[in-house]
């Protein structure tokens, strides 16, 4: 079997897809994107695919090593996101060629279903309690919300009070065991992170995500002392070597690598296994599309330390179209009692709706992060 070509797609709301074609008629799908920089990622794909065309797609480990190592300059969000989408597509091809789901090729299942959570926003909306109750009524047992609006290094305590009021409202609208993930989104600096960790602890959150930016992870152990809350991070880390460094420092309880940013299924599996050796849980980051979600779920299926999976169906970013719109076999994402059933069809288990994909591609979206500023006009982390 040989790779004979490929095609890339950039589609709303902020996703990139990749189709790799073989001489035996088997195609594989990946989701190479980087929110706000997907066009750049796809330029990198063009460079990487120069090597792969004509190669056997089933030699995934060798291809990963060549694409990562042979360029001399390695890593980073652009390259690793491009490599991630290629890697996903190669696994999809191999699973289809062998008529088996990808998780069987990764060692086989260690669970029968995967716990999921749903997004409800949180930084500015005023009705998070209602949204959390709606998710509870749909069967979800956990949600994630943004903690706060923009925060300066030292900021008003009224903003802290607003966070606490929203979390209290969610707790009142649900129950004691309902999981509340609180995403600081890297927009909180260390002085205010200490305050929020201390004040949020009595609400028993499921976790606090990105309490500090990735470049300040050396301070995580200090932040952890202010509240007995599991700390999660990892969406802005792109290789096993970055994760090795943070695991050795300690203080992290849940790793959140993104299968479309950290080098794909091949690399995420290695990161997950390394985290298990440190008694650290896995909760893959995935506010993305159907292929990234499928890839994440195949990893969850085989990793004992996977505890919960993010998914973006209905997330506030998804304007005009949503995750399931790009699929023919929408039923494979079967959520019941807060869990998703395993994906059992060959490959990644996703049948892409190419006609819809082609139509949406014509819109050529250029999603960009919002630019926030503090009251004094200085830049604020989003």
Q: Is 334 noted as a catalytic residue in this protein?
A: no
Q: How many CB atoms lie within 10 A of CB 367?
A: 16
What SS3 class is residue 114? Answer: strand
Please give the Cα distance from 49 to 82 (Å, whole number). Answer: 10
Q: Are strands 372-373 and 379-380 parallel, antiparallel or unpaired?
A: antiparallel
pLDDT for res 123: 64
Segments in the chain below pLDDT 50: none
Q: Could you say which DSSP state residue 101 is in? A: B
Can you tell me which residue has the tokens 């809350």?
Answer: 229
Q: Is 285 noted as a catalytic residue in this protein?
A: yes
Six-digit token string for 158:
């009224």
What is 3-101's CATH topology? Enolase-like; domain 1 (3.30.390)
Do 3-101 and 104-346 have matching folds? no
| Greatest Cα-to-Cα distance within the chain, rounded to the nearest angstrom | 62
pTM over 0.75: yes
For the chain, helix (H) and strand (E) counts, in that order, are 12, 15
Q: Class for domain 104-346, per CATH?
A: alpha beta
pLDDT for res 219: 93
Q: Which residues of 245-262 are buried (b: 16+ CB within 10 A; e: fewer)?
A: ebbeeebbbbbbbbbbbb
What SS3 class is residue 186? Answer: coil
**8 A C-beta contact, residue 91 and residue 347:** yes
Six-digit token string for 15:
């996703």
Q: Domains of the chain: which residue ranges?
A: 3-101, 104-346
List the catalytic residue out of 63, 185, 261, 298. Answer: 185
pLDDT for res 7: 98
Cα within 13 Å of Cα(311), Cβ side: 29
Please give the Cα distance from 60 to 287 (Å, whole number). Answer: 26
List the catalytic residue out of 42, 63, 261, 285. Answer: 285
pLDDT for res 291: 98
pLDDT for res 122: 64
pLDDT for res 121: 74
């Amino acid at each position: 079997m040989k790779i004979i070509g490929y095609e890339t797609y950039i589609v709303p709301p902020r996703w990139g897809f990749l189709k790799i074609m073989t001489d035996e008629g088997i195609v594989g799908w990946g989701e190479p994107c980087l929110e706000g920089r997907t066009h750049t990622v796809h330029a990198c794909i063009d460079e990487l695919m120069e090597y792969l065309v004509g190669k056997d797609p089933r030699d995934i480990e060798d291809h990963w090593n060549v694409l990562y190592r042979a360029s001399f300059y390695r890593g980073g969000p652009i390259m690793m996101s491009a490599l991630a989408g290629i890697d996903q597509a190669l696994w999809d091809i191999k699973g289809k060629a062998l008529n088996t789901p990808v998780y069987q090729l990764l060692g086989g299942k260690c669970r029968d279903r995967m716990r999921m959570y749903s997004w409800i926003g949180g930084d500015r909306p005023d009705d998070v309690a209602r949204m959390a109750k709606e998710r509870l009524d749909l069967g979800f047992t956990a949600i994630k919300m943004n903690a706060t609006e923009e925060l300066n290094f030292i900021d008003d305590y009224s903003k802290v009070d607003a966070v606490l009021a929203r979390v209290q409202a969610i707790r009142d609208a649900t129950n004691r065991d309902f999981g509340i993930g609180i995403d600081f989104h890297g927009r909180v600096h260390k002085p205010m992170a200490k305050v929020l960790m201390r004040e949020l602890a009595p609400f028993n959150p499921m976790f606090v995500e990105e309490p500090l930016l990735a470049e300040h992870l050396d301070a995580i152990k200090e932040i952890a002392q202010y509240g007995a809350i599991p700390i999660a991070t990892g969406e802005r880390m792109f290789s096993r070597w970055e994760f090795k460094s943070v695991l050795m420092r300690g203080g992290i309880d849940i790793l959140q690598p993104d299968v479309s940013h950290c080098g794909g299924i091949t690399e995420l599996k290695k990161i997950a296994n390394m985290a298990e050796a440190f008694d650290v849980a896995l909760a893959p980051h995935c506010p993305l599309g159907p292929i990234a979600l499928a890839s994440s779920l195949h990893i969850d299926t085989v990793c004992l330390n996977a505890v919960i999976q993010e998914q973006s169906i209905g997330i506030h970013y998804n304007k005009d179209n949503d995750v399931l719109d790009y699929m023919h076999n929408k039923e494979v994402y079967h959520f019941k009692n807060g869990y998703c059933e395993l994906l059992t069809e060959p490959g990644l288990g996703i049948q892409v709706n190419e006609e819809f994909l082609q139509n949406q591609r014509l819109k050529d979206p250029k999603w960009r992060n919002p630019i926030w500023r503090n009251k004094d006009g200085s830049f604020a982390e989003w």
